[in-house]
Structure 1
Amino acid sequence: MARQRIDWRTTSHRGSLRRACGHGNGFTLIEMVLVIIIVGIIFSLGSVMLGKVFSSYSAKQEIAEADWQAKVALERAARELRAVRTATDADLDVASTAQVRFIDTDGNGVCFYRDPPTNRIMRSAQAPNIGVPGDPCGGGDSLADHITALSFSYWASNGAATAVTASVYYITVDMTVADGVYNSGFRTNVRPRNF
């Protein structure tokens, strides 16, 4: 009788693989469905967390931009207010707290005001209108967005509020910035050099 030759390496390898997996047919359908469900839950939680991170970053960027614009606009207004030519009705209009209109030391007309429809602080080149105190400004260039309030207060040297141009010693500028949930106020006191 002829003996049949058996390759022991192949047979033992297949048997050990079956023993290692616990069964010989691979994964069951239930196991595959459970893996898919678990992976889906992990991905959905991860995407929610990433979405929150990205929206938080975007909101912080918008807040920083609105804050920076407001500070730059306030500094520009303060710098130009220091150059009011004289404390006379011809050079400074104090009739309105919603705007400030003046003539600077170079003889240029300047007006800072807030444009309510666009919530912007504007700067225009309009001199005081001697015949019409408090005459509203218009036109000009936008300095900052998201400005929800802008007011100007005029103070005498003794610290009392004044509406008389000749007694103005310093000017207070108040500005409110709002962008989404962000809301912040800025204030500066300016003493013109020639007063």
Structure 2
Amino acid sequence: MQRLKLQLVLFLSISTCHTVFSFTDGLLPNGNFEQGPKPSQLKGSVVTGHDAIPNWTISGFVEYIKSGQKQGDMLLVVPEGDYAVRLGNEASIKQKLKLIKGSFYSITFSAARTCAQEEKLNVSVVPTTEKRDWGIIPIQTMYGSNGWESFTCGFRADFPEAEIVIHNPGKEEDPACGPLIDSVALKVLYPPKRTRAIC
């Protein structure tokens, strides 16, 4: 009996380790940005290190925003949890993931406009080759209770490893202007298969 328990515990721990390496559904690791930079990696709200936000790599002017933080007379809110990131001019966040080659995925995230009238985001999936799947998403002013909107785009994993990149291609006078990002998630899509049944 003891041997059976030991084998069961060993099997469960191996299974748990496996799910860490192969991503299927849910928030990306630290996809809600609740794990933030160390105080030494922040200058006010500006993130100063490329790897300062756990599980993410950043480039350009990226801010770590706490819910309730003020920008002039505007109060910045976060839809889930306490923290989000803001991408300034030409800034981006990215995360490398192991995927199931040939599978279809959807990327979902929340975004909110903060300054400019026409903010945009470039969402791309960058494999280890030069081929890239991408799309431009316009960020509109939302007149809801919190001003956030959810976006989804899909792609097929042509390689077992790729980087998910969210980039602000804007060039505003104020480099800090840019959309807020939160709750980045990934889901495997199972397309319907043709059957021989007649409807």
Task: Give the alignment's TM-score, normalised by structure 1.
Answer: 0.25
Q: Which has the higher helix share?
A: 1
- Max Rg structure: 1
Task: Give the alignment's TM-score, normalised by structure 2.
Answer: 0.25
Q: Which has the higher strand share?
A: 2
Q: More relative contact order in 1 or in 2 (CA 8 Å, sep 6+)?
A: 2
